[in-house]
A and B are shown apart, each in its own frame.
Chain A
Amino acid sequence: MEGPLLAVSDLRTHFRTARGLVRAVDGVSCTLERGRTLGVVGESGSGKTVLSRSIMGLLPKQNVVRSGSVRFEGREISSADPRTMRGLWGTEMAMVFQDPMTSLNPVMRIGNQITESLRYHLEVAKDFANDTAIALLHSVGIPEPERRMREYPHQLSGGMRQRVTIAIALACGPKLLFADEPTTALDVTVQAQILDLLQLQQSERFMAMILVTHDLGVVAGRADDIAVMYAGKIVEKASTRTLFTEVSHPYTEALLKSIPRLADPSHTRLEAIGGRPPDLLKLARGCKFAPRCPYARPRCAEEEPVLSESGSPGHSFACFYAVGTPEGADALARNRAVGASPGAGV
């Protein structure tokens, strides 16, 4: 089939709350080809989870204002009714959630939780569904799958439970898998196992994946492309290698600098990002990162930069004074000259 698997354009998801309108996702566009991995990176409140839920149509019915288009295999699904979406869930797109403790049904046997979607969507016979479920559990690295089929979630460890949720998500052979912080609740050695497993399954099934995380380290070795989100917008997007070698947006740069690195000696002072993430209820005009940005100039508070491609192909960022450009160097030098703390140029 022609065209990308998923094309999102100018997607907006706002929530009406008692305190005002929360602009959780505010004009996001991206595309994803078959079999590729897109890493979506951002801090809490950056809109990364709402983005994946908006694409999948997993939003509350009330008090949501959404616009923009989501095309899956060329088909517009942003305004599809629940019946149409149910036809897509499981067989076309599936999701692995952050917390394996709460995303499984505690009073249902593991086996039934896997065969449920097989029998509903693919309408296969019970025995066939059972055999498929055992094969799935085996492929996600669960020892003694026949025995585990009859167990309940509380009898499994956190890592094992996450393997089960992956098996459920993979059951009907989706073309697109959303993994929303799949390893945040897990220990670091188990995290490595689960990420390896996702990567293996993805390449075996030629499945596209959107890997949502707050940890740049998680996506660095595994995603083909990375989108960095801040305050509901993508601020920088590039292939993984380009993003790390040609960091352009000041937020991406600040994020990378603020992470302690194993290679640095002890007591290396971290370059913390001043201030705090913006309040989505009271977003200022202009660039949302400007109040915390060491490059910010008066223009940044007035005018909002748009995400546009420059430099390497496929590399786009939303900044007037990008890192590594003469404008950026000049802005930084001017801010430093007046001894300004981050954002003081605004």
Chain B
Amino acid sequence: MAGSGTAHLRSPEDALLRVEHLVVEFPLGRTGAKVHAVSDVSIDILEGETLGLVGESGCGKSTTGRAIMQLPPPKSGSVVFEGQDLTKLRGESLRSRRPRIQMIFQDPISSLNPRRRIEDIVAEGLRIWKVGDEPARQAKVDEVLDAVGLDPSFARGRRPHEFSGGQCQRISIARAVITEPRLLICDEPVSALDVSVQAQIINLLEEMKARYGLTLVFIAHDLAVVKNVSDRVAVMYLGKMCEVGPPDVLYRSPAHPYTAALLAAIPVPDPSVKAVDRPHLGGEIPSPIAPPSGCRFRTRCPLVQERCASDEPQIEPLEGGHFVACHFPLRPGETLPMDGSASAVGAQPA
């Protein structure tokens, strides 16, 4: 995996957001070592599209989402939003773009200030930007609270602790959409919620997208959730892009061995699928402080060859808008070998 390259990007005129060669690194004290959180990732999103960003913890998906917001600004690369490179903006000119990009977070309870009333939490964006007068702002608060399925007269005066996790996530969504953003970055918005509530929030996000004309970046580790919401899915591993494609194609015939392994590892709620009959990946994600050379997935890849250690694969097109960064991609219908874990560090004992 590995993948650098921009073959999967579409025409810059069509894209609402175009991220090119994004690099985010975090220094480790005075040691000079760095965490290579995101290394040369490119991605674009068309207006009205939902981009699903999937991968395991440490793959850089959240860092990518935050780097789009310039929180913190990336080390290098460009983030072109509405034709403007955000990485070149500073101070007031960057701040003035903020209402156009909003974010919702994983933990709905800790992302709301426990001391404030819901009406103040939701109205804050409007007050900061002095949108309309106070009655107009209050009317807008009622409108968005109603849109996210909360009774405004009930919710307004209460504080976050009086709501459940799912309701707090609704409040976060209301707060995000009130400034009428064009792009909404959702960082694991449903992973802290119970399954029965998760479906409500996913459905709500789809409704919000239609109602407010949103474009979504949906970051999650759950492949089934991502497939459900996305128009295009990008799979990441250790700060690199593995595979990009329309969800139906990518899930039916994954070309990257990592995507195939990820799909095989999902527990399926169907007892006729015996878990032990599927190839499971051995080992664990290597340290992002000293990532492997060449393809970063090679230490766990069942199809690894010598070339993978020296050459980093570039993103190359397959059929049907499907792109993969792998020297030896799987062909449609091909599956991983069953002894997939044999080559990996920390594999099952013989």
Give A residues with C-beta under 8 Å from B: 43-44, 138-139, 141-143, 157, 159-160, 187-193, 195-197, 199-200, 214-218, 220-222, 240-241, 243-244, 254-256, 258-262, 264-274, 276-277
Contacts and interface: CB of A to CB of B under 8 A. Distances in A.
Contacts of B333: none
B275 A192 contact: yes
Given A141-B347, A269-B206, A218 B195 contact: no
Given A217-B266, A272-B202, 15 more contacts: A43-B195, A143-B346, A157-B284, A196-B348, A216-B269, A217-B267, A221-B267, A221-B274, A255-B196, A258-B195, A259-B199, A262-B266, A265-B248, A266-B231, A268-B228
B132 to A, nearest CB: 33
A141 B345 CA distance: 10
Contact of A270 (B228, B262, B266): B228
Contact of B269 (A142, A143, A259): A259
B317 to A, nearest CB: 21
Which interface residue of A193, A195, A240 has the most chain B CB atoms within 10 A? A193
Contacts of A191: 265, 267
B230 interface: yes
Place the interface of chain B in its size category: 35 or more
B227 interface: yes
Interface in B253-275: 261-275
A188 B282 contact: no
A162 to B, nearest CB: 11
A44 B267 contact: no
A256 B228 contact: no
Contact of B281 (A192, A240, A268, A271): A192
B219 to A, nearest CB: 15
Contact of B224 (A138, A255, A259, A274): A259
A193 B345 CA distance: 13
22 contacts: A157-B284, A187-B57, A188-B221, A188-B266, A189-B56, A189-B262, A192-B265, A196-B275, A200-B348, A217-B266, A220-B267, A240-B271, A241-B271, A241-B272, A254-B196, A259-B195, A260-B224, A262-B266, A269-B206, A272-B197, A273-B197, A273-B199
A141 B344 CA distance: 12
Interface in B46-79: 56-57
Contact of B195 (A214, A221, A262): A214
Interface in B310-350: 341, 345-349
A188 B262 contact: yes
Contacts of A266: 227-231, 246-248
A43 B164 CA distance: 14
Nearest to B247: A266
Contacts of A255: 195-196
Nearest to A274: B200
Given A141-B348, A261-B224, A44 B194 contact: yes
B54 to A, nearest CB: 10
Given A43-B195, A265-B248, A139 B349 contact: yes
A192 to B, nearest CB: 4
B175 interface: no
A216 B273 CA distance: 13
A157 B56 CA distance: 14
B273 A189 contact: no
Contact of A188 (B56, B270, B284, B349): B56
B108 interface: no
Contacts of B281: 189, 192-193
